[in-house]
Amino acid sequence: MWRSATRDRVEDMLYDAEKALTDPELRSSPSLIEQLLHPEFAEIGSSGEVYDRATMIEMMTTEMPGDVLIRDFTVDRLSDDIVLVKYRSVGTSGQEARRSSIWVRTDDRWQLRHHQGTRVPDRWGQVR
């Protein structure tokens, strides 16, 4: 799962991996989450809180995510084995966030090393 793809398929594979992180089936399986998250994974949440891998696995297996739309998805290659993914997510409540992820390829598998999400204020400057 999420093994290395050819160069022209890496963007599709990383899109699928980002989308999978919102899938209730994947989130109910710590072993599947562990495959995707790098051992040194860290996340800066929209609250500014920093989460390590163990905390994120625990949170993901206990939270039920809503349906998430991913748009404006781009992949910037930093090297052959490191990419920066950027996109916007829109949740079922309509809340939008700008997201960035750093994915690293280790042993022919892409793993999420770092993620950050920043909520986008509504037209009145309020963050829901």
pTM of the model: 0.86
The more confident residue out of 93 and 122 is: 93
- Give 19's pLDDT tier (boundaries 50, 70, 90): very high
Burial classification of residue 73, based on how many CB atoms lie within 10 Å of its CB (0-12 exposed, 13-18 middle, 19 or more buried): middle
Burial classification of residue 109, based on how many CB atoms lie within 10 Å of its CB (0-12 exposed, 13-18 middle, 19 or more buried): middle
pLDDT in tens, 65-86: 778 999 999 999 999 999 999 9
The full set of domain ranges for the chain reads 7-119
What is the fold, at CATH topology level, of the domain defined by 7-119?
Answer: Nuclear Transport Factor 2; Chain: A, (3.10.450)
